[in-house]
Amino acid sequence: MNSAVRAPEPAAESTGRPETVPALFQRTAAQRPDAAALFFKAGQRWVPITWAEYARAVSRLGNALLAEGLQPRDRVAVWSANRPEWQITDLAILHAGLETVAIYQTLAPDQVKYLLSHSESKVLVVDDRKLLEQVVAMRSDLPLLQRAILIEGSAPELDDWVISWEQALRRGDDFGRGRPGLLVSRWQALEPDDTASLIYTSGTTGVPKAAILTHRNLTWTATATLQCFRGDASDRVVSYLPLAHILERVVSHLRQLCTGCQVYFCPTVDKVMEVVHEVHPTYFTSVPRLWEKIYAGIRDRMDRVGGPRRLIRDWALLMGARRTAAYERGKSPSPLIAWQWSLADRLVFRSIRETLGFDKIQICVSGSAAVSPDMLRFFYGLGIEILEGYGLTETTAPATFNRPGKARFGTVGLPLPGVEVRIASDGEIMVKGGNVFGGYYKDPKATHEELVDGWLKTGDIGELDKDGYLKITDRKKDLFKTSGGKYVAPGAMETQLRSHRGIGQAVVLGDGRPFVAALITLDRDAGETRGASDAGVKRLVDEAIAEVNRELSHPEQIKKWRILDADFVVGDELTPSMKVKRKRIAEKYGSDIESLYAEKKTP
């Protein structure tokens, strides 16, 4: 193995912050009782919830869980979209000395049944009647599930197994009056290494595993990110990635407990840019797919500019590129380029940022999957620096991050303070630090295989440059070998293809096959995508494939491809974090794949 690389910053050993989530929450709530903490949309109005109101709701629901007779380390599941009640529920669970089981809203009923059964959850907090009906249908298969709490809507009559959110809060009030000190004693008895949450892996390669995250994992990681980039009480954060995903838990929920910032909830992904335009966040985290859509939208609007404005556009983009080039050399732009970029900003770029709602942005983060370096360069030229990071559920989301003003496009940055990264002899990335999880629930074999002397085997392949910046080259499990014996890493090829306007998703194929092929879906929001049979669309995909192939050896090049009629869907071909499920795609599109390989390949 190569020698380990640590972050340039030391770990913050004594920040003064509590090391359990409830203690951290209580400190911030006591410091900022009248300040707004959470915002939800009611009609056209954003309604605030103060820290004092937040703390009161946590206490009421926490007591309601104690009223169910739950004992320390029992598990409570949350199946809901992003909303204030999600965070209130999570904190109530932890205050009661229990463990949160996070469930993605998009999971199918059988998947939800597996998670509830495997985790032995005793209470489920569920979003609405639509999801509740699915739970009721599987109730006979879940003998340990003793209660469901419905967030939105009234509980069904004649079934006291389900109670409404308001009923639960009233039960909490009654219980709290009778046992006034129990909830406080529960959270004060917690230790940093106690389990806080079970997060189920996305299951791209099989049955999902339950990663055990401790209180220390959560508080330590949130604190470490604050050493990488700023955060304070003045921040406005949009919560839209699933809170069941540990990335969103860290960046909007847990960091808020450290900084006291404001969180605005967007329950559906398709509305996120509307919310961004209204809220003007200072801090925003997303996955590559959204950045790709924003990029395509900007380029589409720019392409429609004509006359003298087109000349101004081209000049402004040139200034953006020159500013970016200086940044990548680690230097400030020359005074002339800086002045010209400032003028381009006033004429072009500022209005783009204002239209998007990014005019107040200070930190933008991209995670969960690879993003095209050229796209990052484009955004930097517009005045939007996107910091790419890397991590897994098992590393409590981030393990590495690029730092503001020091990003290297095409890398996922440096280790978090206190984190070590090394590369094994076969190229696998290994991670060690306070963010590394406690193992897999009920799976000692998998724990033993992936945790070795405190080092996590990530399953990703990468390399470290001379300054310690990490570059991901592919997933270890995604590498395949053609029948000709050539190893192919599909991830980077797929990222490049997705960065082209008009392309939604791309899956590169070829394991055990005579040549490399690809399945392509179209971005239905782009103006170019009039349909798979359109000549212009075929030409667009041909050009994208040709551009990717230019950087590859002949055996690696994509020889055949097919445009699918529909985009991939979260919950079917995509995980909730927008990763492709290769096994599912191979099953669903098996006939398309076979017909591709039945055709004569392109020379």
Span 349-398, pLDDT tens digits: 999 999 999 999 999 999 877 888 999 999 999 999 999 999 999 999 99
pLDDT at residue 207 is higher than 90: no
- In this prediction, residue 237 carries a pLDDT of 97
Please provide the CATH number assigned to the domain covering 480-597: 3.30.300.30
Calculate the alpha carbon distances from 575 to 117, 192, 580, 583 in Å: 21, 30, 6, 12
The ranges assigned to domains in the chain are 16-190+229-273, 288-359+361-475, 480-597
On the question of pLDDT at 480 being above 80, the answer is no
Q: Using an 8 Å Cβ cutoff, are 363 and 229 in contact?
A: yes
**CB-count exposure of residue 171 (10 Å: 0-12, 13-18, 19+):** buried
DSSP 332: P
Query: 601 or 405: which carries more pLDDT confidence?
Result: 405
Q: Do domains 16-190+229-273 and 480-597 have the same CATH topology?
A: no
Q: What is the mean pLDDT of residues 19-37?
A: 97
Q: What angle do CA 583, 589, 593 make, to 5 degrees?
A: 100
Q: What is the CATH number of domain 16-190+229-273?
A: 3.40.50.12780
Residue 529 pLDDT grade (very low, low, confident, very high; cuts 50, 70, 90): low
Which pTM was predicted? 0.85
The string of DSSP codes covering 31-97 is H-TTSEEEEEEETTEEEEEEHHHHHHHHHHHHHHHHHTTPPTT-EEEEE--SSHHHHHHHHHHHHTT
Q: What's the pLDDT score for residue 1?
A: 44
For the domain made up of 288-359+361-475, give the CATH fold. Rossmann fold (3.40.50)
- Evaluate if residue 570 carries a pLDDT over 90: no
End-to-end CA, the chain: 40
Taking all residues of the chain, what is their mean pLDDT, rounded to a whole number?
A: 90
The pLDDT of residue 203 = 57
The yes-or-no verdict on residue 165 having pLDDT over 70 is yes
Predicted confidence (pLDDT) per residue in 79-134, tens digit: 999 999 999 999 999 999 999 999 998 888 988 999 999 999 999 999 999 999 99
Mean pLDDT throughout 157-178? 92
Least confident among 2-16, 189-203, 585-599? 2-16
As a whole number of angstroms, the distance between CA 75 and CA 244 comes to: 15
Q: Which residue has the higher pLDDT, 563 or 257?
A: 257
**Using one digit for the tens of pLDDT, what is the confidence trace for 133-161?**
999 999 999 999 999 999 998 888 767 89
Q: Which of 30-39, 205-214, 532-541, 593-602 has the highest mean pLDDT?
A: 30-39
Predicted local confidence at residue 565, as pLDDT: 81
Digit-coded pLDDT (tens) for 61-76: 999 999 999 999 999 9
> Of 509, 212, 531, 506, which Cα lies nearest the Cα of 369?
506
The burial of 580, by beta-carbon neighbours within 10 Å (0-12 exposed, 13-18 middle, 19 or more buried), is given as: buried
Query: What pLDDT score does 287 carry?
Result: 86
**Tens-place pLDDT, residues 388-443:** 999 999 999 999 999 999 999 999 999 999 999 999 998 999 999 999 999 999 99
CB-side neighbour CA atoms (13 Å) of 412: 29
Residue 390, phi then psi, degrees to nearest 5: -145, 140
How big is the chain by its Cα radius of gyration, in Å? Answer: 25
